[in-house]
């Protein structure tokens, strides 16, 4: 899980569409060497799981290709950047955790555990989310 690249990319996320509550649903995230990735965020159950679907887009609507990082057992940094952006836009801060037990321990100090998973593969992580400034 490339947290550093995700943090950097989250500063340049562009929202393509939002859900009925004004939360980002589809975003464009920059990649390496000028690449652009379309990430779809799916909130699968109330406050429990968010999945990321990521695809490399080609200029001029020439199609797309599934993101290799999100399909080979990992969560790509594009999807993580989209989640970081969505949290910040909603007034939340988050901490990325590699395992559920680590996230649960961190949540005891305040916050709520959310499961993040790849829509296209087996990658997963957990975040602890809380209101920014608390």
Does 133 score more than 90 pLDDT?
no
What is the tens place of the pLDDT at every residue in 76-126? 999 999 999 999 999 999 999 989 999 999 999 889 999 999 999 999 999
Q: At 124, phi and psi to the nearest 5?
A: -155, 160
- Domain of 49, in residue numbers: 3-131
Residue 131 above 70 pLDDT? Answer: yes
Which residues lie below 8 Å from residue 99, measured CB to CB, with a gap of 6+?
Answer: 126
For 23-49, what is each residue's pLDDT tens digit?
A: 999 999 999 888 899 999 999 876 689
Q: Which of 4-13, 54-63, 101-110 shows the lowest mean pLDDT across its residues?
A: 54-63
Number of domains in the chain: 1
pLDDT value of residue 132: 79
Closest C-alpha among 107, 105, 106, 98 to residue 126: 98
Query: What is the full DSSP assignment across 94-131?
Result: EEEESSHHHHHHHHTTS-EEEEEEESSSS-EEEEEEEE
**Looking only at Cα atoms, what is the longest distance across the chain?**
48
Q: Are strands 14-18 and 112-118 parallel, antiparallel or unpaired?
A: unpaired
What's the confidence (pLDDT) of residue 29?
96
**Confidence bin at 134 (pLDDT 50/70/90):** low
Per-residue confidence band for 60, with pLDDT thresholds at 50, 70 and 90: low
Residue 102's nearest CA partner among 93, 90, 92, 115 is 115
């Amino acid at each position: 899980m490339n947290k550093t690249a995700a943090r950097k990319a989250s500063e340049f996320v562009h929202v393509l569409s939002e859900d009925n509550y004004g939360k980002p649903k589809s975003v464009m995230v920059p990649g390496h060497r000028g690449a652009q990735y379309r990430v779809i965020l799916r909130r699968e159950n109330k406050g429990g799981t968010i999945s990321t679907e990521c695809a490399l887009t080609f200029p001029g609507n020439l199609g797309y290709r599934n993101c290799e990082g999100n399909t080979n057992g990992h969560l790509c940094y594009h999807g993580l950047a989209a989640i970081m952006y969505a949290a910040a836009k909603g007034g939340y801060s988050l901490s990325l955790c590699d395992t559920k037990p680590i996230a649960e321990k961190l949540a005891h100090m305040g916050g709520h555990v959310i499961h993040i998973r790849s829509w296209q593969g087996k990658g997963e992580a957990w975040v602890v989310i809380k209101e920014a400034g608390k």
